[in-house]
Homo-oligomer: A and B are copies of this chain.
């Protein structure tokens, strides 16, 4: 039996508390999962998971063994990273997680260029805006846009770009509703918010007197900034969107940037990766590449 792969299966089963979910995630059949767990139990000489057809519970022994398995799998990866590092030839699959819209608009463009340069690296890209546990979900790294605050946990978060935000609206909307000139004026406008951060409708604007935060209201909240952008383009209201979301439309004069005297609080792009002794060279390499790529392709000053 391949003990190591069985350990991997076991860990996923315990994580997901389900044979079938683990099977789906690992891309194998549930019968295979069942067999592997049985074999592993036979191998260690103890029942690891108490299972009825309907529910699983990890035994005391199983819980202790689970911890060990996690560590061992981690160490095996570490060893392979070490080799890869000493070897100087990055290889293998880079499993990357990224925010939805940023991924669609920027990461999606950067990856083919990177792959051109490093043909021995494969990509496995997952875009979503939910909470991610890198280790649990098996990602090598994540790209996350958040307020520039320090993320938690044992992960390393490296800020690789600062994302300018812009309060904006369509010319047509402004023609009808007027152009807000002070932050206070926003209270009288329909503010379309991209709702991910907990306080997405608190917009912070800074001028030479320092920052101020305005609570805004409107008739659309969406968890996807393209939905918000679409509403802006349909003249529905004012939004606070990232430069990369609107740049094309600003250049085409379909969207106007407001508040030239103020600067909305920027967001930060963090590259997040596990803190391991030997980082996979793939990860380091891609982060470097992407940082440089963004410096060229993220037109930070396109309308300041």
Contact = CB atoms under 8 A, between A and B. Distances in A.
Given A72-B75, A75-B68, A87-B61, A80 B2 contact: no
A113 to B, nearest CB: 23
A61 B83 CA distance: 6
Nearest to A86: B61
**Interface residues of chain A: helix, strand, loop or mixed (majority):** helix
A44 interface: yes
Contact of A76 (B1, B5, B72, B80): B72
A82 interface: yes
A229 B172 CA distance: 111
A136 interface: no
Nearest to A2: B2
Given A72-B75, A75-B72, A83 B4 contact: no
Residues of A in contact with B, size category: 20 to 34
User: Within the oligomer, what is the number of copies of this chain?
Assistant: 2
A89 B45 contact: yes
A82 B60 contact: no
A68 B72 contact: no
Interface in A21-45: 43-45
Given A45-B83, A61-B83, 15 more contacts: A2-B2, A3-B4, A3-B5, A44-B79, A44-B83, A45-B87, A45-B89, A45-B91, A46-B86, A61-B86, A64-B82, A64-B86, A65-B83, A68-B75, A68-B78
13 contacts: A3-B4, A4-B4, A44-B84, A45-B84, A45-B87, A45-B91, A46-B84, A61-B83, A64-B86, A65-B79, A68-B78, A68-B82, A72-B75
* A-B pairs with lowest CB-CB distance, top 6: A68-B79, A2-B2, A46-B87, A4-B4, A44-B83, A45-B91
